Amino acid sequence: MSQDKTWSGRFNEPVSELVKKYTGSIDFDQRLAKWDIQGSLAHAQMLTQAGVLSSEDLAAIRQGMTEILAEIEAGKIEWSLDLEDVHMNIERRLTDKIGDAGKRLHTGRSRNDQVATDIRLWLRDQISDIQNLIQNLQSALVELAEKNAAVVMPGFTHLQVAQPVSFGHHMLAYVEMLGRDFERMADCRKRVNRMPLGAAALAGTTYPIQREITAELLGFEQICQNSLDAVSDRDFAIEFTAAAGLLMIHLSRLSEELILWMSPRFGFIDIADRFCTGSSIMPQKKNPDVPELVRGKAGRVIGHLSGLLLLMKSQPLAYNKDNQEDKEPLFDTVDTLIDTLRIYADMMRGVTVKPENMRAAVMQGFATATDLADYLVKKGIPFRDSHEVVAQAVRHAEQHGVDLSDLPLDVLQGFSSLVAEDVYEVLTPEGSLNARNHLGGTAPEQVLKQVARWKALLAQ
């Protein structure tokens, strides 16, 4: 029987070609090669310090792994399906290079704890990259907010004009969402950064290993304390994908707004041509393909979360082959997230704001009605009574096809004798913005304070 398999001595017949293709993972897990080598080198050094490997074996392993990594980076290594996965491909290549020292490398470990370690090392690095990209997108939004701190736009509830808000204030809402996404990634990274290596197949090992040494060499903050849990845990992958899904939902919400705002029915913004496409039959079309795809890709990431949850829901301890199915959705989630964040920051820096259209939209929906009600309350009328008074004024303005600010003073006084000439100061969109000058409010002064706050945070 072929000796390609490290476990082939137990079997009487070779694995069928169909089973090889079905169970092999080398097509996708080869991307873990760099981290597999990193983990192997730390494991070898620990074994040497523990007296299990000789210093000569360690030197040979280091030299061999350096050569293999160079081959991988140059695209010269041939990945074999017969060797199933990235771990066995690298181990076989190492053995071909350095002989018995390569065979000794796997002492005191299993592919079960090896793959769990590789994924954590890989995901830890990806999270760091994602955090940088989140902050880059936040910076783009903060820049847009600063430029448009005093630009008036309609704020919506139920997608109906509600109250005037600053466009800058609106952009900063997404900066806050992304700030929470950053925090979730940082928190998730703490649980990713726990080392399973040393758990071996499921019960630990009889060799005198020192897991603390390996953890320090690999930069793990903690060590998985139970060998059964260490090899079978995929909580960290599920948690990351959940955080990624929520981040994509935030970007999907912003995408929906960009799509609406770019429509001629809104005309609030324009997106640079390089992020849009045209139509094959309608020459006038300019389609916001990037934000539309972000909406679609949000569903893709959420689907991966559902898949990982279902993958784990019925697994008994410890490791099961089912867990091979964790990598492709996790890899795709990371790829999707990184690509989306990168292109989104560039796209937001290519957004052109149309203040005149936004202001015109504010004037179409009686957006300062609440300001008029607040004005009457300050004059001494209970809010519920002022609410009724303003509702009558809105009805009158609607019937005459004008805004509240267009109603003559005597008409407004017909609804309440407390109305005076200063009422027009609160009926303008700009007056409405400026009146909300408190922490978290939409006043341009507050927007600029938040811009300064975020610039300082992002600079740290």
Q: What pLDDT is stored for residue 1 in this prediction?
A: 38
Query: How far is Cα 295 from Cα 307, in angstroms, rounded to an integer?
Result: 19
Q: What pLDDT is stored for residue 444 in this prediction?
A: 98
Query: How far is Cα 232 from Cα 224, in angstroms, rounded to an integer?
Result: 11
Q: What pLDDT is stored for residue 13 in this prediction?
A: 79
Identify any residues that bridge with 195 across adjacent strands, giving them in sequence order. 223
Q: What pLDDT is stored for residue 284 in this prediction?
A: 84
CB 429 within 8 A of CB 367: yes
Query: How far is Cα 176 from Cα 453, in angstroms, rounded to an integer?
Result: 11
Strands 160-166 and 152-157: antiparallel
Q: What is the pLDDT along the chain (460 residues), one digit of tens a residue?
A: 344 566 556 667 788 899 989 999 999 999 999 999 999 999 999 999 999 999 999 999 999 999 999 999 999 999 999 999 999 999 999 999 999 999 999 999 999 999 999 999 999 999 999 999 999 999 999 999 999 999 999 999 999 999 999 999 999 999 999 999 999 999 999 999 999 999 999 999 999 999 999 999 999 999 999 999 999 999 999 999 999 999 999 999 999 999 999 999 999 999 999 999 988 888 788 999 999 999 999 999 999 999 999 999 999 999 999 999 999 999 999 999 999 999 999 999 999 999 999 999 999 889 999 999 999 999 999 999 999 999 999 999 999 999 999 999 999 999 999 999 999 999 999 999 999 999 999 999 999 999 999 999 999 9
Token pair for 195: 């080392």
DSSP string, 101-122: HHHHTTTT--HHHHHHHHHHHH
Please report where in the chains the tokens 């994908």 appear, as a residue: 241
Say how many C-beta atoms besides its own lie within 10 A of residue 352's C-beta: 8
| φ/ψ (deg, to 5) at 22 | -75, -35
Q: What pLDDT is stored for residue 282 in this prediction?
A: 87
Q: What pLDDT is stored for residue 4 in this prediction?
A: 58
Residue type at 224 in one-letter notation: C
Token pair for 426: 């609160």
Q: What pLDDT is stored for residue 2 in this prediction?
A: 43
| Catalytic (active-site) positions | 158, 279
CB 308 within 8 A of CB 241: yes
DSSP string, 76-104: -PPP-GGG-SHHHHHHHHHHHHHTHHHHH
Token pair for 212: 């603390």
Q: What pLDDT is stored for residue 359 in this prediction?
A: 95
In 287-408, alpha helices (H): 289-312, 327-348, 355-362, 369-378, 383-399
Distance between the two ends of the chain, CA-based, in angstroms?
A: 60
Q: What pLDDT is stored for residue 7 in this prediction?
A: 54
Token pair for 83: 């060797």
Structural domains of the chain ordered from first start: 16-107 (1.10.275.10), 115-199+225-359 (1.20.200.10), 366-459 (1.10.40.30)
From the list 328, 312, 301, 302, the residue with the least C-alpha distance to 233 is 312
Residue type at 96 in one-letter notation: D
DSSP string, 388-452: HHHHHHHHHHHHTT--GGGS-HHHHHHH-TT--TTHHHHHSHHHHHHH--STT---HHHHHHHHH
